[in-house]
Amino acid sequence: MVYRTGSELRAAARSGAFTEHTSGRAPGYVQANLVVLPRDWAYDFLVFAQRNPKPCPVLEVGEAGDPCTSVLADDGDVRTDIPLYRVYEHGELVEEIPEITSRWRDDLVFFLLGCSFTFERALLDAGLALRHQDENRNVPMYRTNIICRGAGRFLSSPMVVSMRPYLPRDAIRAVEITREFPGVHGSPVHIGDPEHIGISRIDRPDWGDSVSIRSGEMPVFWACGITPQLAALVSKPPLMITHAPGYMFAGDRSDYAFHLSG
Amino acid sequence: MVYRTGSELRAAARSGAFTEHTSGRAPGYVQANLVVLPRDWAYDFLVFAQRNPKPCPVLEVGEAGDPCTSVLADDGDVRTDIPLYRVYEHGELVEEIPEITSRWRDDLVFFLLGCSFTFERALLDAGLALRHQDENRNVPMYRTNIICRGAGRFLSSPMVVSMRPYLPRDAIRAVEITREFPGVHGSPVHIGDPEHIGISRIDRPDWGDSVSIRSGEMPVFWACGITPQLAALVSKPPLMITHAPGYMFAGDRSDYAFHLSG
């Protein structure tokens, strides 16, 4: 299912009609990662994001207790508008659920972070195919040995990356295009040998699905907004709620609004 | 006086030997705005900065009680390394002093924000003159009618801009060049008619010095890191310490490290 707008995708997720990953499902609209934390942990997370802007570009911060968005979407509700959520308690993933209304509290603060799905239309517009979309899969995501800087109780932890395979000439184009989208991860963090960033099995992503890499292609890796979920595992906030990898919040703003000139 | 490195400028400011504004005084090195707040106010300020990234691009956040820098400079001390500081109490500017050691407390957090002096070398390298440097003056800064979004106790308040005059063809080049430096205010927020952004007297800047605008030139306005000082006037934190306008923190990192490709 492909929706005409981010608003339509959110409505479908809210009603339970749409339960899949969101890559390419609202073409032309910004998509975002979700992090929800108690207000008491929010400062440490915001400093963590400031120190690690490639994986954690903050696009919107809510007020404590308020689940409604105003920057990325006029009438978004982060409790219901994402197809699938993850709940972490004291560093453990305790459940995956389709909405978090019953979990919401007056002291919770939401953060929406840029997502690389936002620059996928720009890649397509430049003639660069997206293998995961062509193969009807979620984008593959990997834990790396690139270590993020800690901030207070948010401890240093590994960066997560998403991967798209390209021929070298297209990898160069992909760098040129995505550097123009710094708020949604920007240019890649690595190109080529996966082992160089600690990925031993490129055919076994830690999240999302495996995609084929054809002869002559090289994997191209972008920082990924799943990174805070790894930080949660070691930092053990009493409660942290996120989206499930690849199941994003779709906004009302154009993806090209996150171009450097947007 | 022009110093060979940011470290030399900091040492001169620390010893009291250098007491002037810093535009062009450590060519090739990053310069930054300072904001110091009690830990209790730090979260609201960081959200304010997230919501107003053009005037408030955060480059480094210290730990509570620690005045030492590690990102912009290896051995910087924000209590002594700036030529002139301003102290605000409950929304009033109470003093301008050359160091803040006696004012430092265990609960204070420093923020270093990008400064447009950082892209001045790139403008010079492209053949674009800097009128304030040519006339041996501090850059002119103005209060505008562009309103920043509030965040918690940091209330919405006017954006401050710096101004450099250019012929139209050079103004275009200045946009092209500075867009590549998003962490130090990036592209201009306005070009041309000062009244359009609420500036009635271009010859009477609110901070810094007036510079001449020659026939055919238009004023070009960039967001400025003095903006938090206006927010302090209305938001009235019990204590906020900043640099004096134009008297910046000079770092060890190259100014070109803040280029989009840096």
Q: Give me the residue from A51, A58, A182 closest to B50, CB to CB.
A: A58
- Interface check A63 vs B, CB under 8 A: yes
The pair of three-digit structure tokens given for residue A136, joined into one six-digit string: 């009807």
Q: What is the mean pLDDT of residues B215-223?
A: 97
- The alpha carbon of residue B203 is apart from the nearest alpha carbon of chain A, in Å, by 30
What pLDDT, on a 0 to 100 scale, did the predictor assign at position B224? 98
Tell me the per-residue pLDDT of A99-116, one tens digit each, with 9 for 90 and over.
Answer: 999 999 999 999 999 999
Contacts of residue B109 in chain A, CB cutoff 8 Å?
Answer: none
What pLDDT, on a 0 to 100 scale, did the predictor assign at position A262? 79
For chain A, the domains span 6-117+235-258, 127-223
pLDDT at A79 over 90: yes
- Interface check A91 vs B, CB under 8 A: no
Tell me the per-residue pLDDT of B24-51, one tens digit each, with 9 for 90 and over.
Answer: 999 999 999 999 999 999 999 999 999 9
Under the banding of pLDDT at 50, 70 and 90, the label for residue B57 is very high
- Interface check A58 vs B, CB under 8 A: yes
Mutation target among A39, A56, A58, A175 for the B interface, most CBs of B within 10 A = A58
The whole model's pTM is what?
Answer: 0.93
Task: Return the bridge partners of B113, or none.
Answer: B33, B58
Mean pLDDT of chain B: 97
Domain A127-223 has CATH 3.50.50.60: no
For chain B, what percent of residues have pLDDT higher than 90? 98
What pLDDT, on a 0 to 100 scale, did the predictor assign at position B261? 85
Mutation target among A35, A45, A46 for the B interface, most CBs of B within 10 A = A46
Tell me the per-residue pLDDT of B150-170, one tens digit each, with 9 for 90 and over.
Answer: 999 999 999 999 999 999 999
Under the banding of pLDDT at 50, 70 and 90, the label for residue A135 is very high
Angle at A116 between CA A115 and CA A122, to 5 degrees: 130
Q: Per CATH, which fold does B6-117+236-258 belong to?
A: PSTPO5379-like (3.40.1640)
Cα–Cα distance for residue pair B25/B262, rounded to 1 Å? 22
The pair of three-digit structure tokens given for residue B16, joined into one six-digit string: 């009291």
- Cβ neighbours of residue B203 closer than 8 Å, sequence gap 6 or more: B210
Q: Which amino acid is at B124?
A: L
For chain A, what percent of residues have pLDDT higher than 70? 100
Which CATH homologous superfamily contains domain A6-117+235-258?
PSTPO5379-like (3.40.1640.10)
What pLDDT, on a 0 to 100 scale, did the predictor assign at position B2? 95
The helix/strand/coil state of B95 is strand
Q: Per CATH, which fold does B126-223 belong to?
A: PSTPO5379-like fold (3.30.2040)
What pLDDT, on a 0 to 100 scale, did the predictor assign at position B13? 98
Nearest CA in chain B to A151: B63
For chain B, what percent of residues have pLDDT higher than 70? 100
- Pairing of the two strands A158-166 and A218-223: antiparallel
Mean pLDDT of chain A: 97
Question: CB B54: neighbour CB atoms within 10 A?
Answer: 20
State ipTM. 0.89
Q: What is the mean pLDDT of residues A30-45?
A: 98
What pLDDT, on a 0 to 100 scale, did the predictor assign at position B262? 79
- Pairing of the two strands B92-97 and B85-89: antiparallel
Q: Give me the residue from B47, B58, B260 closest to A179, CB to CB.
A: B260
Q: Give me the residue from B42, B152, B182 closest to A260, CB to CB.
A: B182
- Interface check A260 vs B, CB under 8 A: yes
Say whether A127-223 and A6-117+235-258 share the same fold: no
What pLDDT, on a 0 to 100 scale, did the predictor assign at position B251? 98
Question: CB B126: neighbour CB atoms within 10 A?
Answer: 12
- The alpha carbon of residue A189 is apart from the nearest alpha carbon of chain B, in Å, by 12
